[in-house]
Each structure stands twice: as C-alpha cells, then as structure tokens.
C-alpha cells in the first residue's frame, strides 16, 4: 500500500503518514545510540560509537558530540553528512543572534530555528528529509538547563531524559524506571552509562566505544566538557560497568 505514497515527501498516505519521514527515522534506528539526561546542576550526553570495521582508523575527534555555541551542545544519531549541514546551520544562526543582540541565543529559540529548516525539507518536492536526530543540551538565563530532542520531521520537545538511535525504545523505557527528579550530574552520568551498557549491541563497555559530554556551570559561566577516554575508563570501573584490566603475570 505504501508504494503509491512513498515516492514524494509531500504526499500524505490515506492514514495521514509521510513515509519518507518514517524511512528517515528508520535510518536513525541503525545508528549508534545517544542518551541525554537533565540534572539539577547540568546536562549529560552519552553516545555509542559504532565500529563498523576493525580496519577503520578510529577518529581522534568526537563523532557523536558537537559544540554549537558556548552555551549549547548536541549529540547526534543518524547520517553524519546530514548532521554536519545542520550543525553548521545552527552555529551560524547562534552567531548571528549574538552579533545582533549581544547576548547568547535562547536554547529553545535555536532548536526551533533549526527544526524549521528540517521541516522545510518535508514540505517541498525534489528534497528528502534529513536522516538525523539530535539531543540538544544547553543553558540560558531564562530557563536554566534544558534538554531537547528533535527528529527528521522537525518536531522537537523538552525532555528530562531521552534516547535516540539504535534500541532507543528499550533505552527510553529503562530511563523511565531509572530517572529521578533532582538527580545530580554524577548520578545522571551513572544512569546514562548503565542504560547504554544494557541497550548497546556491543557486549563489552569500553571507553573507545563511548563518548561522554557535559554542559554545566563553572564560576558562573556555562562550560561544555568532553570526557577524556582515561576519565571515562575510570568512571566505568567506578560504577562497576567494566572489569579491571588483568595484571601481567
């Protein structure tokens, strides 16, 4: 039935569905998962790096976490080339706002602006939706710390905890059980790593398969920090999510 309606992004099926948008969401379902958790003193983002081949040289730069502005960062799941276009668009919009108003762009306004761009690609012929979902973490003076999730349709919403990418439904149901109001940043990191360890396709949790980033306040200023592999290994050991290295005989 869908074959009559899935050739154009602008055609609704009789059930009111846009199949091209749903196909884009399927593409995201095959990507490495990412989890965001809102705590009282910051926002935590954790992502799974999918190693597609042993021959592939692992990237020294982050591939799941991106800084948009001094007060906003995001985690990505989906087609990375699509994500790069949208991340650059968001960075330009944030800088234009700062240039015009001499203050950082409110987080939701930035998310809404980017989602308007994504929605446009579901509305005009000859285009396809962006095959990427985002988790936005940020802070502004009006609403403090915020976490937003957006999908290829241009929809977005504010969340206390959210998951995107592979096995996101299982991760989301686990987050419902594990999340508590008033959680601290360290507790949020522990919950995110615990959920990811149970929903990842990989059997063992190691620092080279993960990325962890945090947005928090330090000395009254917003700080974006990506956790180093060494610190990540220590956290996994501390929370009992990995085995200590065996001592050489």
Per-residue pLDDT of the chain (249 residues; tens, 9 = 90+): 456 778 777 788 888 888 888 889 888 988 889 999 999 999 999 998 877 677 777 666 667 899 999 999 999 999 999 999 999 999 999 999 999 999 999 999 999 999 999 999 988 888 889 999 999 999 999 999 999 999 999 999 999 999 999 889 999 999 999 999 999 999 999 999 999 988 887 667 788 888 999 999 998 899 999 998 889 989 888 888 776 654 444
pTM here is: 0.91
Q: Which residues of 57-75 are buried (b: 16+ CB within 10 A; e: fewer)?
A: eeeeebbbbbbbbbbbbbb
Q: Give the pLDDT of residue 249.
A: 40
Q: Are 40 and 89 in contact (CB under 8 A)?
A: no
The DSSP H or E segment spanning 161 is strand 161-164
Domain 26-238 bears CATH identifier 3.60.20.10: yes
Q: Are 76 and 84 in contact (CB under 8 A)?
A: no
Q: Give the pLDDT of residue 248.
A: 40
Tell which phi-psi region holds residue 185, choosing left (phi > 0), alpha (psi between -120 and 50) or beta.
Answer: alpha
Helices (H), 121-246: 168-178, 185-199, 229-238
């Amino acid at each position: 039935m869908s074959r009559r309606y899935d050739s154009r992004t602008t055609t609704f099926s009789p059930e009111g569905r846009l199949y091209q948008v749903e196909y884009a969401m399927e593409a995201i379902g095959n990507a490495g998962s990412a989890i965001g958790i809102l705590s009282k003193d910051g926002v935590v983002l954790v992502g799974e790096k999918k190693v597609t081949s042993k021959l592939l040289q692992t990237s020294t730069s982050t591939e799941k976490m991106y800084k948009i502005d001094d007060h906003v960062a995001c985690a990505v799941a989906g087609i990375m080339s699509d994500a790069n276009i949208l991340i650059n668009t968001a960075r330009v919009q944030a800088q234009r706002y700062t240039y015009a108003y001499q203050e950082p762009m409110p987080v939701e306004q930035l998310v809404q602006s980017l989602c308007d761009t994504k929605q446009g690609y579901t509305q005009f012929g000859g285009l396809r939706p962006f095959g990427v979902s985002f988790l936005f973490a940020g802070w502004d003076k009006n609403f403090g710390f915020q976490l937003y999730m957006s999908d290829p349709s241009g929809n977005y919403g504010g969340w206390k905890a959210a998951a995107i990418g592979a096995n996101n439904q299982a991760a989301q149901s686990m987050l419902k059980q594990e999340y508590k109001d008033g959680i601290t940043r360290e507790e949020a990191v522990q919950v995110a790593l615990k959920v990811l360890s149970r929903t990842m396709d990989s059997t063992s949790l190691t620092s080279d398969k993960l990325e962890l980033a945090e947005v928090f306040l330090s000395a009254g200023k917003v700080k974006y920090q990506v956790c180093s592999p060494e610190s990540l290994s220590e956290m996994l050991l501390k929370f009992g999510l990995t085995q200590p290295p065996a001592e050489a005989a």
